[in-house]
């Protein structure tokens, strides 16, 4: 199953968006940033305001900061240099509706 999954991901269109694989864990040497969905508040937990703002550059910065922070806390064994990593891309699907 692992081999099938790995090979399928290489096929054009298999992931839906060409940049999807570049955002997965370890693709940039970092863990992924936190993922949120609707509603904006659930059981007293709120989605960070920056994610609701629609400001794509600020959202990308927040995601990059969160990914770096998670990696430092959860996987300090990973050797990464923040200044050498590309920023987390802003995908067209990230637009505020």
pLDDT > 70 in the chain, percent:
68
* Residues forming beta bridges with residue 46, ordered by sequence position: 41
Interior angle at CA 35, CA 31 and CA 38, nearest 5: 180
List b or e across 3-21, with b for residues whose CB sees 16 or more CB atoms inside 10 angstroms. eeeeeeeeeeeebeeeeee
pLDDT at 19: 65
Q: Using one digit for the tens of pLDDT, what is the confidence trace for 13-42? A: 777 766 666 656 556 778 889 998 889 999
Residue 53: band (very low, low, confident or very high) from pLDDT cuts 50, 70, 90: very high
Max mean pLDDT range (1-5, 19-23, 45-49): 45-49
Runs of H (alpha helix) within the chain: 2-8, 49-52, 56-74
- As a whole number of angstroms, the distance between CA 17 and CA 83 comes to 26
């Amino acid at each position: 199953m692992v081999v099938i999954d790995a090979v399928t991901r290489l096929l054009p269109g298999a992931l839906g968006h060409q940049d999807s694989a570049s955002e997965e864990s370890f693709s940039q040497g970092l863990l992924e940033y936190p993922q949120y969905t609707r509603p904006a508040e659930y059981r007293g937990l709120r989605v960070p305001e920056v994610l609701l703002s629609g400001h794509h550059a600020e959202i990308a910065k927040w995601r990059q900061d969160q990914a770096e922070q998670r990696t430092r806390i959860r996987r300090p064994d990973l050797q990464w240099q923040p200044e050498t990593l590309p920023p987390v891309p802003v995908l067209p699907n990230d637009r505020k509706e």
